[in-house]
Structure 1
Amino acid sequence: MLGLKDPEHGDWSRVHGPQYALLHHRASARAVLNLAGTALMAISFGGSLPGFLIAAWSIGLVAITAYMFRLENSFASLDVRGFSRAEQRRHMLAAVAKGVLWAVPGTFFLRYVDPTIHGVAWAYVAALMLGSTVSRYSAPLGALGFTGIAGLGWTVGLAMHGSFALAIIAVLSTAFTTLGAIESAKGAYSERLARLGMAEKSQVVSLLLREYEDSAADWLFQLDAGRRLQKVSPRLAFALGRELGDIEGKSFLELISGPAWETGHFPQSLHDLANKFKERENFSNMTVEVSINGERRWWELSGTPMTDEKGNYTGYRGVGSDVTAQRESSERIAYLARYDTLTALPNRLMLHETLAEALAYAEKWRSRCAFLMLDLDRFKAVNDSLGHMIGDQMLAEVATRLGSIMTENEICGRLGGDEFGIVIRDASDRKRIERVARAVIESLSAPYHIENHILYVGASVGSAIGPRDGRTVEELMRNADLSLYRAKDLGGGEHCSYEPSLHASAEERRQLEFALRSALAKNELLLNYQPVVDANSERIVSFEALVRWVSEEHGFVSPGKFIPLAEDTRLIVPIGKWVMQQACAEAARNWPEHVKVNVNVSPEQLIEPDFVATVVQALSRSGLAPKRLEIEVTESIFMRDADVAGRALEQCMALGCSVALDDFGTGYSSLGYLRKLKFSTIKVDRTFVQGASQKSAESVAIIRAVVAMADSLGMSTTAEGVETADEAEMIRNMGCTKIQGFHFGRPMSAGDAMALFRAADRRRIA
């Protein structure tokens, strides 16, 4: 406070310099009072004291008064140049010297004058002390030095010369003036610290505001009571795309509304902002859609109303920033979260949300909604044969066709891959579901023209009605999937509605799958063998190995059930490996050298990297000659990865194995397949044999064409499904080289197959 040491907060010069700078304001008054007091004392004591003493004292007091006057006037520039401790010491010493000079009359001169003058003289000195305390409150060290020494000198002098009452008064006056100087100094010191703190905070705020105003996207705004811009900053003018002079005093809402100001069709966010201004409410981080030079932008605004010292509303002050990039980024993220990037259709998440809303509405109003799940037929063949780029273009075309079918009552989305879903919000009309499903199948079955390719794929549709077929999204989607699975089982291009029996079928399928996974370990699988005979001699030339499953839990399971299940779950790979090993072992161990074994191979097995190794292992372990193994495949191998399957079969043929094309004529029957691989045998499907036996001209023509083609390519033909002697004779006359069917033997155990060979041996001996 006194300036003897550095303050706890702030610089010493900044704290005390401005205080001492105040001394120059009353320096003249103090000088006049001191000179007047000098004259008064000289007159009062002049007749009683030697003249040289009065003269010396007066000269000394005038000199010190002049020095202090000059010194205090020099303090006027302290706010600019700074304040030093040396200047403080000079001022304090000058004040002490002046106090000593004013103490001299009270200590030494009172003995020479009449006691009646004591009171008058003291009164003037007391007035000087009080004046010093009041006028030098900002320089407490000098005030204390002057009042303390002057008061002490007069107290001692009055007591020494018998004026005890005045001495007591002098003591009290000195004490009170000293305390007053201290209290005044405290107040001045505290006030100065507070002002410095406020000034520092103001500087920091100003600096921050300047930095904020200079930032790339943020700016300040100030409005008057009429919502007109005031004190427009360059940054705000830039954000508005205007010149400073063009927008000062203009309506803020008009500037950011764009054409909407004339039409009156404002975005809701602008309505909300206007309401905040109208109600004079604070708002923070409020996102507002604005129009700047015809371009839609998004601003984030915060503002607070302003009032004057009387509490009257004067306008708004706030801060804003352009968040268009962030907004667009957020919108893009929200779009990607709910829309499929390839087809631009809603994705699984959005379909899930839409179906949930439709179910909730149906529950509330006792109505119906529906969910249709659709899957493209033969799409995988397009992907595998022409590549994923063509497949993606086809999916985009599918999305376009589906979009053209939808109305406001339906929403279509992509679930993933080639699966799509349709939510029918109001399905009170059951016929509407069927109409949508049929329109989808018809539209998606039309040919696709993509990069000089004409492609055909169909669609299968499964539907479920909510809340009848499911009260949750998961249940409804699952039941629609079960319906779709049923439609695919029917051959595709169909629409199936959900029935409770489908759930039972799905549960049975699940249980079968669980049991099938342990069938090999439990030795529940076995092989049957169906003979294939020479068409002319009717001698057995081979057996087709057929896997059968007798489950401990489910009993005998039809191959029509568990083979597709094994292929779907890829259990066909370990099962097929076991069949290959068992069939080769049986043929090598018990059959004549000229009899082959035919083993059916699934496309799932052919695309396995170690398929050829599996064949080699089965042949080496059994000792079977490769020429006695014939691998049977269907046209479906070309629907998967045709190149991988082809290379695997070529490697098997290089080992000496032969390859038969099974069920020829029931699929695409493309002659290109016969060019890709050197098949040894073409098997004519049983449907054509049965048709030919019923005098179907088409079936007869197909069989004759296949036989002729096989003969020209050096291939043998096997007719399947021959059940009577007449059918066998018919097939023989058509030129087929081999026959297979119930007429020559049903699928039988290995022991029964052995019995056929023994019976043939007995006939030959007889």
Structure 2
Amino acid sequence: MKKPSTASALPKELPIPAVLGLTDPDEGDWARLRGIQYSCLGHSTFARIATQVAAMLAVAALVLGQVHPVIVAAWAVIAATTLWRGVRIDRSLIDADRRRISRDEVNAQMICSVLNGLAWSVPLGAFGFFVDTETQVKLWVVLATLMTASAVLLPAVPLGTLLFTCIAGGSAIVFFLSSGMFDMVAVSVVFSGIVIAAAIESARRHITTKVAEAGIIEKDEVVSMLLREFEEGEADWLWQIDTSRRVRSASPRFAFALGMETAEIEGMPLIQLIAGSAWESGQFSSSLRDLAERLKQRENFSNLLVRVTIHGRSRWWELSGTPKFDENGNFDGFRGVGSDVTEARENSDKIAWLARYDTLTGLPNRLMLTETLGEALTYAEKWRTRCALLMIDLDRFKSVNDSLGHLVGDQLLARVSERLKELMTDNELCGRLGGDEFAIVIRDASDLQHVECVAERVIQRLSQPYEVDHHTLYVGASVGSAIGPRDGSTVETLMRNADLALYRSKDTGGNAHCTFEPALHAHAEERRKLEVALRHALERKEFELVYQPVVAADTEGVVSFEALLRWNSKEHGSVSPVKFIPLAEDTRLIVPIGEWVLHQACREAMNWPEHVRVAVNVSGEQLLEQNFVARVVSALTQSGLKASRLEVEVTESIFLRDTAKANAALEQVMALGCSVALDDFGTGYSSLGYLRKLRFSTIKVDRMFVQGAATGNPESLAIIRAVVAMADSLGMSTTAEGAETQAEVDIIRQLGCRKIQGYFFGRPMSAADALALFRDSTRLTNQTAA
């Protein structure tokens, strides 16, 4: 907005030297005030000319006959010249209020006042010596009249009056003194003083008035400018109605907002203009009713959001209004401002939607689910009913996401959400918690069988195949449920307990529904305490390695040991690997623990014969770490173990997370000279692509196939034969795990496995016992590796 070009405000304090123009104080814009002062001179030039011409004629009439006419004429010419010069300067200052007056212009006007005063000192100061006493007094009257006229006609510039009075009045005082007319001296002194004082006070009041007027004008300009710019704005307008609530003085912007001409809306009821079809039906929106009520009650309102209808389209207006009254205090209608905030309202609605709905699936998000669950809990506690929360996690979704990419994964999630919506009734609300986790809030779960039915329908529907981007995909659903307020009286407790039930469902293999039981909470608490203890296990030196021998199938000589981790907790005693290994992987503690295992196993292997290897299990969390290969190098370097004596064991599951990264890490490990074994082959996804891309040194056959083969199970026999044949053709060795009986050892040899591992040849043993095998048995130490 363009503002008036004022450097600073006009001064409020008006000291006499400043009023006279002798000083310019620092406070206030005195240059601008000088312009206001001196611009007044040009408006009184005619009166000044008339006054001085009349005084000249009076002086000439009084002295002619006593003073030579030529002298009087010469004086009149001089006086007229000074008057004319002063008038010209005064006329040049008539626009000084719109600009800044210079010091030269002030000085020029002051000089003219001095010259004019000197010209008028002549009638009494010079002519007075040649005229009689009566004429002298009359000449003094003429001078007194001029001094008074100067004070009256030049109220804004007292300096001119002061100079004129001092010179003209001073000449009279000097003349009367020289003539011995002391009474006239006193009269002249008193009169001149009164004129000077009156001129200064009159100037102060005049300037004060001008300052006030300038302030009012400036404010009017600002208000006019604001109103003009407000009216010219894109979305704002002024509106005004009379006592009958009809539009008066309609502004063009208001008419434009209504899509009508100004003349059309003049005199129309405001509510009718903005109500649309509701004006006829009487079915007003609540916001319109609120507006009408405020107008009826003559209440002030500000930023009132009103839904209006303009040409059949709904819009949102923000209105502010104030009742107006006439000078007698009678109500005279309303005036106010308004703006169209439809776009802002729609954006606000969109933001509110985004805050409560998931953008990918369109389902309610965690925030809305928790709000709905909170309402359901409140209702259940109030009316002694039940509600329920079902937590849903997709089985095998991660493998889809990792193998086919996030785009396919997102499309799959959208299809899942569509199926969930199909299953919902008015009693259920389904939403997405995040990732592949969903939830269902059942508002009325008084019939627990209904909860079971909903869970079964979800599992059955979500387990059906999906066609996504030319791929046929299969995922399952694990469901955990908790009943409120039985299993929790707060949202947080109920969600936690439903989550615990979900974990139990996934632990059982997935594609199942489990309900919450108090034992699950105890299990979760145990897991939490176990995690706390696990975080300190390394620093407390609670871990140890045991070693299980792997022997050659033909000679039964030890060819390697598999290093197995054991945890003897000070708080929990001996903790099974089945418990703490998954926990370590979930918490990523497996990375530092695995590094310790690598270093410890390599150091211990240095005590064994040169042909004996050590095998170390590596989890996916370790392998996908950026510095995994560097950690292997560090373990070999610090222990001095040859790379060929270290075997890294991995399972197929690591390839489901990031195949490219896993392959790259294993290739670098093999480039060091280490061997890589594929553990539990045949129990997972068993893709032959892994064998084609990586040259594993060993494929390990799981114990369940060994046990099955020993009992004559044809499938187990076929699988082992196939694995052995494939490994032989690819130049890989095979190790059969879990051999516990002579029968199992015999069948393993018959099927062609090259190495055997199991309790039949040795349980996991301490490092000292492993070393004792080589010291106490000549037979074992004389054998060579398979």
TM over 0.5: yes
TM-score range, shorter chain: 0.7 to 0.9
Out of 689, 703, 717, which is 2:717 matched to?
A: 703
Out of 305, 309, 312, which is 2:323 matched to?
A: 305
Distance of aligned partners of 1:224 and 1:520 in 2 relative to their CA distance in 1, 3 Å threshold = closer
Distance, in Å, in 2 between the alignment partners of 1:178 and 1:523 is 108
Q: How does 1:545-564 map to 2 (within 5 A)?
A: 545-564=563-582
| Residue 304 of structure 2: aligned partner | 286
Distance of aligned partners of 1:138 and 1:670 in 2 relative to their CA distance in 1, 3 Å threshold = closer
| Residue 690 of structure 1: aligned partner | 707
Cα shift at 1:560: 0.7
Contact 1:369–1:427, Cα closer than 8 Å, also in 2: yes
Cα deviations across residues 569-596 of structure 1 (Å, max 9, x unaligned)?
Answer: 2222233333334434444423473x44
One-letter amino acid of the counterpart of residue 504, structure 2: R
Moved more, 712-721 or 133-142: 133-142
One-letter amino acid of the counterpart of residue 671, structure 1: L
Out of 681, 684, 687, which is 1:670 matched to?
A: 687
Contact 1:375–1:459, Cα closer than 8 Å, also in 2: yes
Three-state SS of the structure 1 residue aligned to 2:728 is: coil
| Residue 744 of structure 1: aligned partner | 761
Distance, in Å, in 2 between the alignment partners of 1:136 and 1:604 is 97
Distance, in Å, in 1 between the alignment partners of 2:754 and 2:393 is 41
Out of 235, 239, 249, which is 1:230 matched to?
A: 249
Contact 1:684–1:717, Cα closer than 8 Å, also in 2: yes
Structure 2, gaps ≥5 residues long: 1-15, 25-29, 52-64, 67-90, 98-104, 124-132, 135-150, 169-193
| Residue 342 of structure 2: aligned partner | 324
Q: How does 1:487-566 map to 2 (within 5 A)?
A: 487-521=505-539, 522-534=541-553, 536-566=554-584
Distance of aligned partners of 1:342 and 1:178 in 2 relative to their CA distance in 1, 3 Å threshold = same
| Residue 483 of structure 1: aligned partner | 501
Distance, in Å, in 1 between the alignment partners of 2:543 and 2:674 is 29
Structure 1, gaps ≥5 residues long: 31-50, 53-76, 102-110, 113-132, 150-175
Q: How does 1:58-137 map to 2 (within 5 A)?
A: none
Distance, in Å, in 1 between the alignment partners of 2:331 and 2:633 is 95
Cα shift at 1:523: 4.5
Cα shift at 1:547: 1.8
Cα shift at 1:636: 0.5
Cα shift at 1:265: 4.0
Q: Does 1:254 align with 2:272?
A: yes
Cα shift at 1:252: 3.0
Cα deviations across residues 522-566 of structure 1 (Å, max 9, x unaligned)?
Answer: 1532313144451x5544444333222222222111111111112
Contact 1:297–1:324, Cα closer than 8 Å, also in 2: yes
One-letter amino acid of the counterpart of residue 714, structure 1: D
Cα shift at 1:662: 1.9
Q: How does 1:373-388 map to 2 (within 5 A)?
A: 373-388=391-406
Distance of aligned partners of 1:530 and 1:436 in 2 relative to their CA distance in 1, 3 Å threshold = farther
Cα shift at 1:415: 2.8
Distance, in Å, in 1 between the alignment partners of 2:598 and 2:759 is 24
Contact 1:524–1:552, Cα closer than 8 Å, also in 2: no
Cα deviations across residues 77-109 of structure 1 (Å, max 9, x unaligned)?
Answer: 999989999999999x99xx9xxx9xxxxxxxx
Cα shift at 1:500: 2.3
| Residue 344 of structure 1: aligned partner | 362
Contact 2:552–2:559, Cα closer than 8 Å, also in 1: yes
Q: Does 1:245 align with 2:245?
A: no
Distance, in Å, in 2 between the alignment partners of 1:576 and 1:192 is 90
One-letter amino acid of the counterpart of residue 331, structure 1: D
Distance, in Å, in 2 between the alignment partners of 1:413 and 1:705 is 44
Contact 2:706–2:737, Cα closer than 8 Å, also in 1: yes
Cα deviations across residues 145-170 of structure 1 (Å, max 9, x unaligned)?
Answer: 99xx9xxxxxxxxxxxxxxxxxxxxx
> How high is the sequence identity, in percent, across the aligned residues?
57
Distance of aligned partners of 1:219 and 1:513 in 2 relative to their CA distance in 1, 3 Å threshold = closer
Distance, in Å, in 2 between the alignment partners of 1:547 and 1:186 is 101
Distance of aligned partners of 1:686 and 1:505 in 2 relative to their CA distance in 1, 3 Å threshold = same
Three-state SS of the structure 2 residue aligned to 1:590 is: coil
Q: CA RMSD in A?
A: 5.7
Three-state SS of the structure 2 residue aligned to 1:242 is: coil
Distance of aligned partners of 1:681 and 1:526 in 2 relative to their CA distance in 1, 3 Å threshold = closer
Out of 463, 469, 473, which is 1:455 matched to?
A: 473
Three-state SS of the structure 2 residue aligned to 1:514 is: helix
Cα deviations across residues 246-288 of structure 1 (Å, max 9, x unaligned)?
Answer: 3333333333334444444444333222222222222222233
| Residue 621 of structure 2: aligned partner | 604
Cα deviations across residues 686-709 of structure 1 (Å, max 9, x unaligned)?
Answer: 2233344455xxx42243234234
Three-state SS of the structure 2 residue aligned to 1:412 is: strand
One-letter amino acid of the counterpart of residue 255, structure 2: A
| Residue 739 of structure 2: aligned partner | 722
Three-state SS of the structure 1 residue aligned to 2:273 is: helix
Cα shift at 1:219: 3.6
Distance of aligned partners of 1:484 and 1:760 in 2 relative to their CA distance in 1, 3 Å threshold = farther
Distance of aligned partners of 1:143 and 1:80 in 2 relative to their CA distance in 1, 3 Å threshold = closer
Distance of aligned partners of 1:657 and 1:195 in 2 relative to their CA distance in 1, 3 Å threshold = closer
Three-state SS of the structure 2 residue aligned to 1:512 is: helix
One-letter amino acid of the counterpart of residue 381, structure 1: S
Three-state SS of the structure 1 residue aligned to 2:488 is: coil
One-letter amino acid of the counterpart of residue 625, structure 2: E
Distance of aligned partners of 1:19 and 1:321 in 2 relative to their CA distance in 1, 3 Å threshold = farther
**Normalised TM-score (structure 2):** 0.73
Contact 1:337–1:349, Cα closer than 8 Å, also in 2: yes
Distance, in Å, in 2 between the alignment partners of 1:742 and 1:625 is 28
Distance of aligned partners of 1:303 and 1:759 in 2 relative to their CA distance in 1, 3 Å threshold = same
**Normalised TM-score (structure 1):** 0.74
Contact 2:605–2:641, Cα closer than 8 Å, also in 1: no
Aligned length: 740
Contact 2:724–2:751, Cα closer than 8 Å, also in 1: no
Distance, in Å, in 1 between the alignment partners of 2:246 and 2:591 is 78
